[in-house]
Amino acid sequence: MTLHGTIHLHPAHVVGPVRRRTFGSFVEHMARCVYTGVYEPGHPLADADGLRTDVLALTRELGVSSVRYPGGNFVSGYRWEDGVGPVEQRPRRLELAWHSTETNAFGLDEFMTWADKAQVEPMYAVNLGTRGTQEALDVLEYTNAPTGTAWADARAANGHEEPYGIRMWCLGNEMDGPWQIGHKTAEEYGRLAAETARAMRRMDPDLELVACGSSFPSMPTFGAWEQAVLAAGYEAIDMISAHIYFREDHAADQASYLAAAEELDDYLDAVVAACDHARTLGKHSKRIMISVDEWNVTNASRGGDAGEDPSGEDWPEAPAFAESTYTAQDAVVVGNLLISLLRHTDRVASASQAQLVNVLGPIRTVPGGPAWRQTIFHPFALTSRHVSGQVLATVSESPERANPRRGGTSPVLDAVATWDEGTGSLVVLAVSRSRGQDLEITVPLGAFGEDLAVQEAVVLHDEDPYAVNTADDPDRVLPRPLAGARIEEGTMRATLPPISWAMIRLGRQD
């Protein structure tokens, strides 16, 4: 029996603009993200700077807009100056966040060279764990100041005469986490972040600064942490960070996992409420936006993560761990999480999927060998490529199914749409969470005129929801044409298979 769902939308009902920074990513000195990921001198496809050109090409194809660097937990013990200057003179360090050896062969200048070639905007994080305000000012001078001062002249001596002009800066990382080097209380961090933000603005008042929110919504500090941090530095910052990951904990958890976007919706609503409460208490006029600068899915419960976190007496270089091999189902959930981010575009100003390569990455590599697209690559790339204009307020109606994790039910259909009036492009992103039945969707289009036609319709689905892409079979799971997507009497109709994500692009007829 086929299920039925309806998506209601109207061009006048706008949430906010499509923001290119929603399609950010994250590169951390963790496991194989940098070394044998983006950077591998000696690889057959490495360029003169040691950057893997296959990974660069895939990054551009993925549609990444910005990249957060260099961490993550790594940044809370990082000395940025270790990673600039002649490579042969850079110190090797014991890296405490991930119990490995950091060679510092790849640092700030290499990252900026990579970012330029990848055509992405840099988002730089400063160390507020073991260091503080002075370190932030030093690296800001190195990156953004014109020559004529010590750190700017050092940048020029290292081959980069012109300032980099980095606009987005993260004030530390997950500072309420006991696992964080330099872990702090909310009051300690709030004061340090505010002092650092004010000092950085003396050098460059137009920076966009992101303060650390609580590490995860399940943290006991969540909510109270945001209040304390915002009370200390509301006017000095622009965004507050939000981090969240999802996984299918066991086979019986499949229905709840498929509806993970509802948890993201609730989390973002809670962060917005905390920010607006602080705005009211402080009688501020501006609104604090959200940077979801770590989000993704993992599949550790199904043995998908390669390797164990290193420990003990061994301090390896770029060890392989946290390398999820993603399934078709994971890709559907990622597509649904992107739907959630878009429908919160009024307050989500930036987002970074964690991470880009190997470590929970949409891109995987073999050292000395190939790179390929994981399943989660595809919904991200298609969404980034096609959405534009305004995000529309979208209401979906469909049957509901049990959601044990939330103790209730969740609809089998979730969707969002974007409308670009200038180009006449209407993009509908939809997910079927049904596990055994097709889902026919209808979208009334009367408010958009009579000249729309289906220009492209693709679906990501596999008969085996746990099918994966590998180096030997990199195209096992791909988006396929969605047969039968059509417009009849002013209504768009399409049928989605179980556990699927679809992108349907409509445009004006010639």
> What pairing do the DSSP bridges indicate for beta strands 14-17 and 400-403?
unpaired
Q: In the chain, count of helices (H) and strands (E)?
A: 10, 28
Instruction: Please say whether the beta carbons of 473 and 465 come within 8 A.
Output: no
In terms of C-beta density within 10 A (0-12 exposed, 13-18 middle, 19 or more buried), how is residue 201 classed? Answer: middle
> What pairing do the DSSP bridges indicate for beta strands 408-411 and 400-403?
antiparallel
- Find the distance separating the first CA and the last CA of the chain, reported in whole Å: 38
Residue 149 phi, psi dihedral angles, 5° rounding: -125, 165
The active-site residue, picked from 174, 226, 248, 262, is 174
Closest CA to 370 of 20, 31, 40: 40
**AA letter at 505:** R
- Joined together, the tokens standing for residue 97 give 């966040």
Instruction: Please say whether the beta carbons of 293 and 123 come within 8 A.
Output: yes
Question: What are the DSSP E strand ranges found in 282-347?
Answer: 289-298, 305-306, 323-324
From residue 286, how far is each of 214, 275, 280, 344 by CA, in Å?
21, 11, 10, 18
The active-site residue, picked from 102, 294, 323, 440, is 294
- Joined together, the tokens standing for residue 430 give 């939809």
SS3 152: helix
Give the rounded distance of the alpha carbon of 285 from its chain centre. Answer: 28
Give the rounded distance of the alpha carbon of 145 from its chain centre. Answer: 29
Q: How many CB atoms lie within 10 A of CB 122?
A: 23
313 is catalytic: no
Beta bridge pairs of residue 124: 69, 169
**AA letter at 425:** S
- Looking at 414-469, list the stretches that DSSP marks H as alpha helix, in order from N- to C-terminal side: none
Angle between helices 328-343 and 377-386 (to 10 degrees): 30
110 is catalytic: no
Torsion angle defined by CA atoms of residues 38, 41, 44 and 46, in that order, rounded to the nearest 10 degrees:
50
Q: What is the distance between the alpha carbons of residues 470 and 326, in angstroms, rounded to a whole number?
A: 9
Q: What is the distance between the alpha carbons of residues 490 and 87, in angstroms, rounded to a whole number?
A: 63
Catalytic residues: 174, 294
